[in-house]
Amino acid sequence: MLRNMEASLTARDRVGIQDFVLLDAYTSESAFLDNLRKRFHENLIYTYIGTLLVSVNPYKDLDIYSKKQMDTYMGVNFFELPPHIYALADNVFRTMLSEFNNHFILISGESGAGKTEASKKILQFYAVSCPSTKLLNNVRDRLLLSNPVLEAFGNAKTLKNDNSSRFGKYMDIQFDHQGGAVGGHILSYLLEKSRVVHQNHGERNFHIFYQLVEGGEEDLLRWLGLERNCQNYKYLVQGDCAKVSSINDKSDWRTVRRALSVIEISESDIEHLFGIIASVLHLGNVKFEADVRGYASLNNNQEMHWVSKLLGIPTQVLQQGLTHRKIEAKTEEVFSPFSVDHAVYARDALAKAIYGRTFNWLVNKINESLVNKDSSRKTVIGLLDIYGFEVFNVNSFEQFCINYCNEKLQQLFIQLTLKSEQEEYEMEGIEWEQVSFFNNKIICDLVEVKHRGIISLLDEECLRPGEATDLTFLEKMEETIGGHPHFVTHKLADQKTRKTLDRGDFRLLHYAGEVTYCVVGFLDKNNDLLYRNGKEVMRQSKNAIIKHCFPSSEPDSKRRPETVVTQFKSSLVGLTEVLMSKEPWYVRCIKPNDAKQPGRFDDVLVRHQVKYLGLMEHLRVRRAGFAYRRKYEIFLQRYKALCPDTWPNWKGTAAEGVRCLIKHLGYKPDEYKMGRTKIFIRHPRTLFATEDTFQVCKHKLGEMLFCTFTCNSTQTLLRVKLTVIVAATRIQAKYKGYRVKGDYLKQREAATKIESCWRGLLARKERAKRAWAAKVIKKFIKGFMTRNQPACVDNSEYLSYVRQNYLTRLRDNLPKTILEKDSWLTPPPILKELSQLLKKLYIRHMVRKYVRGITPQRKAQLLLKAQTSSMFKGNKENYPFSVCRPFLDTRINAEDISIKVLQMIRHEHIEYSVPVVKYDRNGFRPRLRQLIFTQKAAYLVEEAKIKQRMDYISLNGVSVSNLSDNFLILHITCDDIKQKGDLVLQCDYLFEALTKLSLIANKQNCTKVVQDSVRFDIQPGREGFVDFKSGQESMVYRAKNGHLMVESTTTKSR
């Protein structure tokens, strides 16, 4: 300790002060930052504020975490060596063993400040420093390897950090009476589930998704239905940065696989776990389309197949759960179909619920592997790695929860710091002086107080009936808490402040400063609702983990579940109770710059973090009374040489010796206090003055010892030798000084000349560079001014730049498909002709590429669709809705046609068949029939009977209306009165059937689209009519005039 104290005091001007408590200008932020900056540039990233450790992320590897460093800090007094996270970890460990009580280390800071790394270093130190047995080693390995697993499932790349923890983590490490790690327990808080379905630009989803796709074995990916390409999955590409240079997903995958085995998760559970991760990716690719009625329908059966297989849920059940909502009314259950937007919401809510509950299952599994089976009493060291205060350009619900958490922790931090200071003063018998500090209880109450707090208002708005929106929530806050000094909105602000707020914003004045929150999305994120039938679908899963996460025993109350913010508030209350029962230690992590560059110290950014981490507040509390305190024995041992009465040996008690020493040094009564076991010094300058006096005294003592030795010697020869040695040493020192001074002057002169030449060279280069730049700019401006003139010397380079720029932009913005041909980039006037030529060439290229890629089956389908288009496009109202529906070869399988009928027409090959409804010619009663097209004729079949045969030669034509009904009238030549007349049919596959008929009968122009009414022959000499009109619902009935009336709904074409 003496060595360290000496080093820290004498080297303070070069590397700053190791303990901010000794900072003389302790109220000055500038002095605080200067000291932090000075140490950072010397690669001294750790500094104390008493027992609080400040850590600055160096963004580079430092050789200070080796096994040798760990051994150096083991069992050493806290202030004996330079500040280090190992010193804090060791002091916590030894205090726990000696006092046999529980402790916790709070690690805080913003994203990218190094919280996760600090937590790892503490765990690694305990893994090395704790006693070792086979059992203890197993626990140690599980504690260490729980980190990469939780990082894979709970961490993600954000704009500020490539490995940002997107959840809060509190880990208890349990120790036996000998200091062996015998167990542990982990609590997680507020996993950012919304990241599963949405990522901002420049951010990624959770690491595990990319690790599985990039690092998973081929057999595993094949079993999961995945491809080794992250671009194929919607949930992985929204941030547009699936690949990150600083992240090795393949290597991390191997680490996670090994860690899962060490944590003792069975192979069966591991398979189910990866099946769930893959099912979330497939679920994200499920797409919905609107049917004729505007309801959501599924069209990508392949993705549904994989989700069904991996979760062990029948496809039909899964499809029902994604497209319908179950509504219970007394004893009835009604399934209400979703719109496309509601279906997408239900899909995303299900994906978030699956991932969130699986994460909780994983944390519980890790806890099971860490459980301590010994019932004897254990002491605990807790590690709390929690999100730091967050301020982004746009702050939403997540930032509100995180900053509320930091407000609560700041409140706890100040309370515990004041408590520990007060206890030390009382223990030493020194009067406690009240410390003034900003009490952020007013802000905590603004957020959490019952009935009038923001959380209560948000819950009330989420749960109330009627049209509740984010803006009504904002209005509710304005009405209820509009007069609060820490709350302001666009409506409540003055003219100047209003310019900085949008209408959907509100601003809170936190202890760390102002934060503006955008209210958009608050209600949705707070509800985070999973529809009840979504849970019921999951309960049918055969995946063991899903069955555990969605148990059938879970109460299915019709009451709405607790909102997200209420759950978070409750968990914070529980966390606060846990922390209040333990002794606190703190690690405050600081990010020196946003660019992640080593050696760069951004004063503005660091100043902001110092403010919101409460470092100045903590320093003021520690310095409110006395800056320096040390035990009497230690103080006397170092400074006893400064007083004749205490040097060289003091006979009395250490307290009396210190009293004698400070009396000799002339300490004023208000500069110090004498406690029971320690001396308390109020000002750092008093200690520094004492230390400077001690440094002078050391040199005098050395000279005195030497003189005493020479005077008391009885041997003259020895005196002569000593005199010669001293003289020679002095001469040698003088000569060496003279020679070194001459060399120094020569080097300084040479350096000055080199510096002046180098500066001249740089100045000439800069001048030439600026002259070239001015020439280029001048030429560019002249070219711009003459750009519309014919090509000449003045504008040739500018026009060349315009051509190159346009062609480059055109290359990056070419239409992706032939359907986007009209999105061609607008050319500058000089390139219009060239642009039109390039457009024609590129369109021909896309058409050729498209045509070559068409399969024979697809080509046949397109030919049929083209025929249908020529017959009905622009003529029949519901034609557009048939375009997206593929035509089938037949609508009735051979096994569904009566054997008798097949035998009767066995000589004719069946080309197509379809179910129809035939309306009687007299009375218009509907009859279910089958319409069969063969090579020669059309047959109308009733079960085993052929009711009518129509040769294609006798087919005069087909009439359909221009409305959205499915009626067709087959007009047949009827010469004999006994022959049956025209057929009135209704067919759900009208366009498909008529297209097939036109091709099979080779009557492409036989279909006629009519308006209002169609006349048909009942039999020769008798005629009937079918009238068509639009209405509010589809109906078919016999009108009063005896006509068949077909009423259909009006359909808006897309």
Question: What stretch of H or E contains 104?
Answer: strand 103-108
What does the block give as tokens for 746? 């020569």
CB 644 within 8 A of CB 665: no
Looking at the DSSP bridge assignments, the partners of residue 984 are 919, 969
Burial class of 624 by CB neighbour count within 10 A (0 to 12, 13 to 18, 19+): middle
Active site residue 116: yes
Catalytic, 388? Answer: yes
Q: Which two tokens stand for residue 597?
A: 């560059």
Q: Is 111 a catalytic residue?
A: yes
Annotated catalytic residue: which of 165, 543, 686, 913?
Answer: 165
How many H-runs (helices) and E-runs (strands) does the chain carry? 35, 31
3-state helix, strand, coil in the chain (%, to 5): 50, 15, 30
What is each CA distance from 564 to 451, 528, 561, in whole angstroms? 17, 7, 9
Query: One of 192, 214, 390, 877 is an active-site residue; which one?
Result: 390
Residue 859 backbone phi and psi in degrees, to 5: -65, -45
Query: Which residues, listed in sequence order, are joined to residue 54 by a DSSP beta bridge?
Result: 47, 588
In the chain, the amino acid numbered 836 is Q
CA atoms of 469 and 522, how far apart (whole Å) = 9
SS3 state at 719:
helix
The answer to whether the beta carbons of residues 588 and 389 sit under 8 Å apart is no
Assigned token pair, 172: 């208890």
Among 108, 111, 146, 563, the active-site one is 111
Q: What does the angle CA 466 – CA 470 – CA 475 come to, to the nearest 5 degrees?
A: 85
Catalytic-role residue among 161, 403, 964, 998: 161
Distance from C-alpha of 676 to C-alpha of 356, rounded to nearest angstrom:
54
d(CA 787, CA 144): 67
Q: Which of 51, 57, 116, 527 is catalytic?
A: 116
* Cβ atoms of 311 and 276 closer than 8 Å: yes
Write out the two tokens for 726.
């001293």
Cβ-contact 957, 1006 below 8 angstroms: yes
Do 399 and 517 touch, CB atoms closer than 8 A? yes
311/300 Cα distance (integer angstroms): 17
**459/523 Cα distance (integer angstroms):** 8
Residue from 50, 239, 388, 614 carrying the catalytic annotation: 388
Our answer to whether residue 164 is catalytic in this structure is yes
Residue 110 has what DSSP assignment?
S
The pair of three-digit structure tokens given for residue 388, joined into one six-digit string: 């730091």
Give φ, ψ of 946 to 5 degrees: -95, 110
Which two structure tokens, joined as six digits, stand for 72? Answer: 């150096």
How many residues appear in the chain?
1054
- Which entry of 51, 164, 323, 456 is annotated as an active-site residue? 164
**Is 489 considered catalytic here?**
no
- Using CA atoms, how far residue 555 sits from 622, 795, 824, in Å, is 51, 78, 58
User: Which residues lie below 8 Å from residue 291, measured CB to CB, with a gap of 6+?
Assistant: 297
3 state SS of 977 = coil
Amino acid found at 228? R
Which of 16, 112, 216, 453 is the catalytic position?
Answer: 112
The continuous run of DSSP H or E covering 586 comes out as strand 583-590
Q: How far apart are CA 198 and CA 601, in angstroms?
A: 33
Catalytic residues: 111-112, 116, 161, 164-165, 388, 390
